[in-house]
Amino acid sequence: MTKLSSAGNIEWVKIIGGSEFDEVAGIAVDSNGQIILTGRYTGTIDIDPSLATVTLTAQGNASTFIAKYTADGEYITASSFQNPGHNVSSGITLSPTNEIYIAGWFTEYLNFDPAQSDLLFTSNGQQDSYLVKLGAITVNLTESNPAAHISIYPNPANDEVKIKAEHLEKIECFDIHGKLVLSNSPGFRQNEYTLSVSHLPAGIYFLRLSANNHISFTEKLVIIR
């Protein structure tokens, strides 16, 4: 991904990919300014352009990926369609309410959602085309259990939060709608960091940390006023 200014000057460049074949087939920007990519990949792809590692692995010959990034190109979340053959996206567009439409093709069969049996489709020939509508993508707000050497306090918090972790590398804060509201990169592999949250309204947030050789976890944070 590359962002250019209105004058055509490069503002930033973000790289994603793996050791095999991958390509972007379409890009869209939602009403919040966040970026959604779709494309195909083989083998394993690192979908996070930062030093952290977030991988997707194709179960067949090639798989479709859908990934969301902030307006600055920072990773938010990603998913993929899987089947034993090929499934390849060709384009993407968004509705005014950020619902996602993706077009592409697949061989053999493809289940767009393994949790729903009625979304399993079988190709009538060598390959069939598809058009799928997805709801607006939000960040995965599932908490993960922090390791014993990581602590976040106070929680609930008011003006600031102290974070202790081995080799802390990146801190991201999302609201309950999945919008990235704060992102900090402490100095090289700090073990303690004070995060100011005084500008955030009271409510529930989720902190996603990368620490200790890019091990990531998420914890709920409550801010009170």
**DSSP structure string for 132-179:** EEEPPP-------PPPTT-EEESSSBSSEEEEEEEEEEEEEEEETTS-
User: Average pLDDT, stretch 161-185?
Assistant: 83
How far apart CA 216 and CA 165 sit, in angstroms, is 11
120's CB contacts (< 8 A; 6+ apart) are: 109, 110, 111
Residue 206: the pLDDT is 84
Residue 10 has pLDDT above 80, yes or no: yes
Rg (CA), the chain: 19
pTM: 0.62
Q: Is 121 exposed, middle or buried (0-12, 13-18, 19+ CB in 10 A)?
A: middle
* pLDDT tens by residue, 103-121: 999 999 998 876 666 778 8
Q: What is the CATH number of domain 151-223?
A: 2.60.40.1220
Positions of CATH 2.60.40.1220 in the chain: 151-223
The larger pLDDT score, comparing residue 197 to residue 115, is at 197
* pLDDT tens by residue, 23-68: 999 999 998 888 999 999 999 999 988 877 788 899 899 999 999 9
